[in-house]
Amino acid sequence: MEKQGTILIVDDNTDVLLAAKLLLKQHHKKVLTTDNPFDVAGLLNTHQVDVILLDMNFNRDAISGQEGFYWLNKIHSQAPSIAVVLMTAYSDVQLAVEAIKNGATDFVAKPWQNDQLLTVIATALAHAQDKQAISKLSRQTQGLSQALCQPQSEFLGQSDAMLQVFDTLSKAAKTDANILITGESGTGKELTAHALHTQSTRAQMPFISLDMGAVSSSLFESELFGHKKGAFTDAKADRMGRFELAHGGTLFLDEVGNMPLDQQVKLLAAIQNRQVTPVGGNQAIDVDIRLVCATNDALPQSVIDGHFRQDLLYRINTIEINLPPLRERKEDIPLLVDHYMNVYQQKYRRDVTLPASALRTLCDYSWPGNVRELAHTIERAVILSDGNELAIHHVLVASTPPVSDQPTSSLDYDTFDLDVIEQRAIRAALKHFQGNVSHAAKALGLTRGAMYRRLEKYGL
């Protein structure tokens, strides 16, 4: 039988320590000893202890057992899931009852019978493992409730470009290959990640997502790898990171191109080793995840510029799925409009129709914010329309640049420059919402972080 569990023996009698260690190490993976109870806290910080065999009296001639109760309480305040077996040379039924009431798992009288001690420790180990499993489940449930996303929209498209995306997605989903989803903001990268998960063999396991652009450098390791209680000022309890929460399922890292180089090194190590170590901990945790990343940056160019590690790009980019912008698949616009009309009419209890002229306007619009912008546009139109028809012209935040009457050869290249179009849309949104960045970002289908990055990029 495979040896299990780490046992810590605490007794001021070195003969007792040696005898117990020689017996227990034959049956358990690791046996630690100390003759000083003040060493226990440090040992618990450096070892994953399951059971502590704790003497009840450390001062000469002490027989009350109160020292044992004191150290029992100290241990449980630091590590509640550890099973503590108390032992004393002064066997007393009442003392045993009081020990159990104070949280001890069991009680052993010295000198012990070897078979009896082995049975007591084995039972305590099973009890400790049950407590650890319950604690882990509780933390996992809490973490999942915070991390799981809201129900996702449908992933729609009937254009040739989207049919090709669906075909690649279907093939990739059946594997555990790492996927990189690329495309402009608002094209549906998170929906693609969800579709990969639901079509995979991991569909019944968690889908955990994290926006890397929204994670501060100080919280990066805690968010991804978790932390132990007391690891830093606000760490009031153990917390699982996204890697551990996604164990058995899919981990989706959005805006991965925004990670600083020092964070990229840590992510690469976790991917390569399939292990994470919580902040403040020293025990590596094995994780089994399917990694899906997304970015709207050109990562190969970022590698050339020295902003992204080439070895990390190889790791996350076994298969790349590129999502086309909405302006390149305009035949999907009527389908998407009809879908979001139904969604928001039900949500806001409105009954409105879409005139043919309004649909033409939507199809002619350039959609710099892509599908996310279209969804927000339909939502605003459903809310703000006074009559039974959708008033599209009043809610579009920017208009398509007018087509010149000049021959194509003499057109200004700014007409087709995506940066110019994006900057024009941002200016229009800020003007429309009177400088309110949050409202402008939402209208454009951008996160606040992405909006601020664009404001800095364009000097707005």
CATH number of the CATH domain containing 20: 3.40.50.2300
The per-residue pLDDT for 411 is 46
Instruction: Specify whether 290 is located in the same domain as 335.
Output: no
Q: Do both 290 and 212 map to the same domain?
A: yes
Same domain, 227 and 205: yes
Residue 148 resides in a domain: no
Same domain, 299 and 378: no
Q: Does residue 152 form part of some domain?
A: no
d(CA 279, CA 231) in angstroms, rounded, equals 6
Q: What CATH number is associated with residue 304?
A: 3.40.50.300
pLDDT of residue 149: 42
At 399 the pLDDT is: 40
Check whether residue 199 and residue 300 sit in a common domain. yes
Instruction: Please tell me which of 15-19, 90-94, 103-107 the model is most confident about, judged by mean pLDDT.
Output: 15-19
Are the C-beta atoms of residues 412 and 430 closer than 8 Å to each other? no
In a shared domain, residues 105 and 122: yes
**Which of 6-20, 211-225, 401-415 has the weakest average pLDDT?**
401-415
Q: Is residue 154 part of a domain?
A: no
* DSSP-based three-state secondary structure for 68: helix
In the chain, how many domains are there?
3
> CA dist 423 to 1, 180, 406, 430, Å?
67, 27, 24, 11
CATH of the domain at 435: 1.10.8.60
Residue 147 lies in a domain: no
Question: With 0-12 CB in 10 A as exposed, 13-18 as middle and 19+ as buried, what is 303?
Answer: middle
- For the segment 89-97, the average pLDDT, to the nearest whole number, is 64
Residues 39 and 66 in one domain: yes
163 secondary structure, DSSP code: H
User: Are residues 125 and 166 both part of a single domain?
Assistant: no
pLDDT in tens, 360-412: 999 999 999 899 999 999 998 888 888 888 878 777 754 444 444 444 444 45
Q: Which of 316, 352, 323, 328 is nearest to 212 (CA)?
A: 316
Evaluate whether residue 197 is within a structural domain. Answer: yes
The C-alpha atoms of residue 425 and residue 325 are separated, in whole angstroms, by: 15
Domain membership of residue 438 as a residue range: 327-458
Q: Do 308 and 427 reside in the same domain of the chain?
A: no
Same domain, 126 and 221: no
Q: Are residues 107 and 248 in the same domain?
A: no
Average pLDDT for the chain: 83
